[in-house]
Amino acid sequence: MRDTLVLNASFEPLSTVTLHRAVVLVLTDKAVVERAHPGLRMRAATLDLPVPQVIRLCRYVRVPFRRQAPWSRRGVLVRDRHRCAYCGRRATTVDHVVPKSRGGADSWLNTVASCAEDNHRKADRTPEQAGMPLLRQPFEPTPADAMLLALGQDDLLGLPAWLGHGVVA
């Protein structure tokens, strides 16, 4: 899928996002289309949009690119797309891989999104002790994640399923 370049309100390039996310930013009035793919449209029942190549945010956001984005529970859920690191279902809580009671830190590399059930089941144990392997390792958030966090665009669920699949020539 084509990636879309995102400019800050000041026209400074910020990041690239997936076409899906670019369209969501435009549809939620967070960004406007600066340049579209010539001849391409996205069509659905009530929508006909140019396919954005470059979008520009409507308001200026400060994105911590050079330094690490500050850790937050909300940030972990955004980074992990609200998917549980243990079972892949919808996550609403944040789990410490190494529990806080064992010295585990509030950090990007020690926290993952988790469903409430798995968080409760794992309790004060490491994944090895609990026999609950991580489906993926925690990581520092990408610039695109940091930008979406700064925009408050933290939950893309509940959007029409055709978004990102509806590109026609």
CB neighbours of 101 closer than 8 A, spacing ≥ 6? 124
Residue 9 near residue 57, CB atoms below 8 Å? yes
Residue 56 near residue 14, CB atoms below 8 Å? no
Q: Which residues bind Zn ion (CB under 5 A)?
A: 84, 86-87, 115, 118
Closest to Zn ion by CB, 2 or 120: 120
Closest to Zn ion by CB, 95 or 145: 95
Closest to Zn ion by CB, 23 or 115: 115
Closest distance to Zn ion from the beta carbon of 116 (Å) = 8
The DSSP result for 114-127, as a single string, is E-HHHHHHHTTS-H
Closest to Zn ion by CB, 30 or 82: 82
Closest distance to Zn ion from the beta carbon of 119 (Å) = 8
Cα separations in angstroms, 85 against 31, 105, 138: 31, 17, 9
CA dist., res. 59 & res. 10, Å (int): 9
Residue 164 near residue 23, CB atoms below 8 Å? yes
Closest to Zn ion by CB, 23 or 84: 84
Closest distance to Zn ion from the beta carbon of 148 (Å) = 23
Closest distance to Zn ion from the beta carbon of 120 (Å) = 10
Closest distance to Zn ion from the beta carbon of 76 (Å) = 14
83 has which bridge partners? Answer: 90
CA dist., res. 40 & res. 51, Å (int): 6
